[in-house]
Amino acid sequence: MKEFPTAHIRNVALVAHHGVGKTSLAEAMLFNAKATTRLGRIADGSTLLDHAPDEIGRQITIDLGLAQFEWSGHKINLLDTPGYPDFVGDVYSALRVADAALLVLRASAGVEVGTEVAWEVLKQEKSPILVCVNMMDKEHANFAAAVQSCHDRLGLNAIAAQLPIGEAESFHGIVDLIENKAYTFSGRGVDEKSTEAPIPPELAAAAAAARATLLEEAATGDESLMEKFLATGDLTVEEIRRGLCERVVMCDLAPVFCCSAYHNLGVKEILDEIVDVLPSPLDVHPQKGVGENGAGEITCKSDPAAPVAATVFKTLAEAHLGELSLIRLWSGHVEPGKELLNTARGRTEKLGTLYHLCGKERSDCKGAAAGDIVAAVKLRETHTGDTLADKSRPVKLAPPDFPAPVASECIRAKNKGDEEKMSTGIARLHEEDPTLARHFEDSTKETLVHGMGDLHLEILVERLRRRFGVEVTLSKPHVPYRETVKSTAQGEYRHKKQSGGRGQFGEVHLRVEALPHGGGFEFVNEVKGGVIPTNFIPAVEKGVVAGMDRGPLAGYPVVDVRVAVFFGKYHDVDSSEMAFKIAAESCFHEVVLTAKPVLLEPFHMVTARIPEEFLGDVMGDLSAKRGKIRGTEADGHSQLIKAEVPMAELYKYATHLRSITQGRGLFASEFHHYEEVPRELADKLVAAARAEKEAGAAHAS
């Protein structure tokens, strides 16, 4: 593929609810652009974009796909995003670098759950939008209702730029309100042809009214256009498109088009509007970053002559090439062999072979200018979200603002010795999808994986098995409870052991008292008169710390305590650091049990975004989970609920919230504080922990 000037590039993300036909639309675009000689079908696994085994098997888009092709003298970089909420991370990646989005709706349903999820990201990224109503040939197709749903459920100023000629089985053409012409379709799929025709008489009045609205909207964003429109009541086709582009870039207008992607009806017309109405990289706001060490704001204009500034927005795994890094160029020009600075890590990267991608197919790229997207192979130090910049201008740009994971599971390798392979596999998959995360919870000795939902973690398990040869199991994680005390107590413990030869002796007297929540741990040496030699005091502290690691109540770490050693005894021959460490650990446990010990549980601050009609149901459910509602507020057509909820009640909450909100509820949570467990529940937890300990001891013996 030749190199295109910045003005002739269109970076467009396809976003939608799952199953609406995004990938079919992309395949039809590629066929019409002659980037492929066939129409790929999801059902038979022949699409260029959904080519991974798990995508073919499940017949859904899981990974972000890139299709680069030429249309009408322009280069279109089409980013096909997943529709399932579990894979929303790739929607964030795509919209971070796209200059506009094509929001695809189902003609029979309009705005759906996944549309609302995508809409939240579109608003956050302030993405210009075109709307495409797909599946116009399906039963119950209703173009007007789909357009109205954009207003009602999204608050989006969606204005028809086309009208369908017929709906459902009778869909056979469109009225182009911009050109004020009709086109009828003959043939389907690879045989599709569109022919200019008169506007049908039965649509004449509706088309005239819709065009008048479109003209007014196009004129609104430009004073000169508005003056002409008020004077003449009309605008030229070029003026309409210019006016629409200005309004679209301002994000206060979304022209709506219609098609049947599966049958390739109306797709060429949408490609024309992508080129004519959507902005080039020159039309959108330039990227702003910061200089070295956060010093000063730097503006990166879409100028090929400027120093390079680029964002790595996605890492793909290629079976034969290794990792491919997808790079959006904001400024400058790149070619193979160019050296750039990774400003996130302070390392130099030399670009090797560069590629253009068309789904699973690739072709060599000899160079690319500002505004374009390229794929680079085998970057050593660069990861998703990093900035690559010219050394003369080491700017750092904002990475995609990925959402925090909402689902967690304990993960274990089925076979002993596979832990390292599992760890390596998860790390590689995290590089490809940063919404997958992993951490080791020291207090429960479990490795946890975090994702955006159950399906997301299922895919993780499948890919670990298929790509890394590791069989793993997922299970419910243990809650990282803590132990503390509510009063002050003191006691003593003597460790004495004589078994021939040198014995062991150490006696310590400890006082334990409560600190405020979050107070941590304080150790105080109040020993006087040398009853415990100074050189043994660190051993006493080590013993206390060891005792805190597994508390006496249920085996959880002890927190928020002050421990003072105030007396003790030693033996000139038999005392040792180990003896005092053992004595201190045992003494600490005994004293804690007399200082009104309690269990603490982690609370998370949950922020749930739900449709208003589910407000009562969700609040009641959170209260039933021992949650404390901290406030609600309106956010457009949704309600935001803030609540403090015990972590123990949040297992699989993402799935649960979707079930009680018809799939439309979303939430985020983060650790907030620890709080005392209610007595009745604490007794059960303590009993369960002791039973587990006894069972483990019996098994060991």
611 and 575 co-located in one domain: no
Average pLDDT, the chain: 93
Closest CA to 462 of 450, 446, 474: 474
Note whether residue 243 is domain-resident: no
- pLDDT for res 394: 93
Would you state the structure tokens that stand for residue 390, as one six-digit string?
Answer: 């010219």
Residues 6 or more apart whose CB falls under 8 angstroms from that of 692 comprise none
- pLDDT for res 321: 63
CATH code, domain carrying 652: 3.30.70.240
Residues 6 or more apart whose CB falls under 8 angstroms from that of 137 comprise 168, 169, 171, 260, 262, 263, 265
589 and 609 co-located in one domain: no
CATH code, domain carrying 45: 3.40.50.300
Question: Average pLDDT for residues 301-327, to the nearest whole number?
Answer: 88
The helix/strand/coil state of 233 is coil
pLDDT tens track for 205-257: 999 999 999 999 999 988 899 999 999 989 999 999 999 999 999 999 999 99
Residue 61: is it exposed, middle or buried by C-beta count within 10 angstroms (0-12/13-18/19+)? buried
Note whether residue 209 is domain-resident: no
Question: Which pLDDT band, with edges at 50, 70 and 90, does 123 fall under?
Answer: very high
Note whether residue 329 is domain-resident: yes
Of 147-156, 280-289, 376-385, 470-479, least confident by mean pLDDT is 376-385
- pLDDT for res 675: 95
430 and 563 co-located in one domain: no
Residue 636 has pLDDT above 80, yes or no: no
pLDDT tens track for 559-597: 999 999 999 999 998 999 999 999 999 999 999 999 999
The helix/strand/coil state of 505 is strand
- Residue carrying the six token digits 């793909």: 316
Closest CA to 244 of 371, 356, 131: 131
Note whether residue 45 is domain-resident: yes
Question: Average pLDDT for residues 461-469, to the nearest whole number?
Answer: 93
Quote the CA–CA distance of 622 and 216 in Å, as a whole number.
47
70 and 170 co-located in one domain: yes
561 and 438 co-located in one domain: no
For strand 339-342 and strand 387-389, is the pairing parallel, antiparallel, or unpaired? Answer: antiparallel
Domain that holds residue 333: 287-389
Phi and psi (nearest 5°) for 356? -95, 140
101 and 143 co-located in one domain: yes
Quote the CA–CA distance of 518 and 614 in Å, as a whole number.
36
502 and 587 co-located in one domain: yes
Question: Which pLDDT band, with edges at 50, 70 and 90, does 278 fall under?
Answer: very high
Residue 501 has pLDDT above 70, yes or no: no
Strand partners, 299: 288
- Kindly report the number of other CB atoms within 10 A of residue 402's CB atom: 19
The answer to whether residues 669 and 650 touch, using CB atoms and an 8 Å cutoff, is yes
Question: Which pLDDT band, with edges at 50, 70 and 90, does 701 fall under?
Answer: low
The domain tally of the chain equals 5
CATH code, domain carrying 570: 3.30.230.10
Question: Average pLDDT for residues 156-170, to the nearest whole number?
Answer: 96
- Residue carrying the six token digits 């679209």: 248
Question: Average pLDDT for residues 363-389, to the nearest whole number?
Answer: 93
pLDDT tens track for 425-439: 999 999 889 999 999
- pLDDT for res 14: 97
CATH code, domain carrying 310: 2.40.30.10
- pLDDT for res 280: 95
Closest CA to 399 of 340, 313, 457: 313
Note whether residue 466 is domain-resident: yes
- pLDDT for res 46: 87
Note whether residue 1 is domain-resident: no
- pLDDT for res 351: 94
Q: Helix %, strand %, coil % for the chain, to 5?
A: 30, 35, 35
Hey, which of 220-229, 267-276, 494-503 has the most confident mean pLDDT? 267-276
- pLDDT for res 497: 87
The alpha helices in 154-294, defined as continuous H runs, are 201-220, 223-232, 237-249, 267-277
Note whether residue 528 is domain-resident: yes
92 and 153 co-located in one domain: yes
Quote the CA–CA distance of 383 and 226 in Å, as a whole number.
47
Question: Which pLDDT band, with edges at 50, 70 and 90, does 349 fall under?
Answer: very high
Question: Average pLDDT for residues 10-33, to the nearest whole number?
Answer: 95
132 and 11 co-located in one domain: yes
579 and 615 co-located in one domain: no
298 and 415 co-located in one domain: no
Q: Which of 277, 310, 327 is the last residue of a domain?
A: 277
The answer to whether residues 600 and 676 touch, using CB atoms and an 8 Å cutoff, is yes
27 and 174 co-located in one domain: yes
Note whether residue 400 is domain-resident: no
pLDDT tens track for 502-534: 789 999 999 999 999 889 999 999 999 999 999
Question: Average pLDDT for residues 305-315, to the nearest whole number?
Answer: 95
pLDDT tens track for 52-72: 888 888 989 999 999 999 999
Residue 183 has pLDDT above 80, yes or no: yes
* 466 sits in which H/E element: helix 454-468
Instruction: Tell me which DSSP letter residue 397 carries.
Output: P
**How many percent of the chain have pLDDT more than 70?**
98
Q: What sign does the dihedral 43-45-51-53 (CA atoms) show?
A: positive
The answer to whether residues 48 and 360 touch, using CB atoms and an 8 Å cutoff, is yes
- pLDDT for res 698: 65
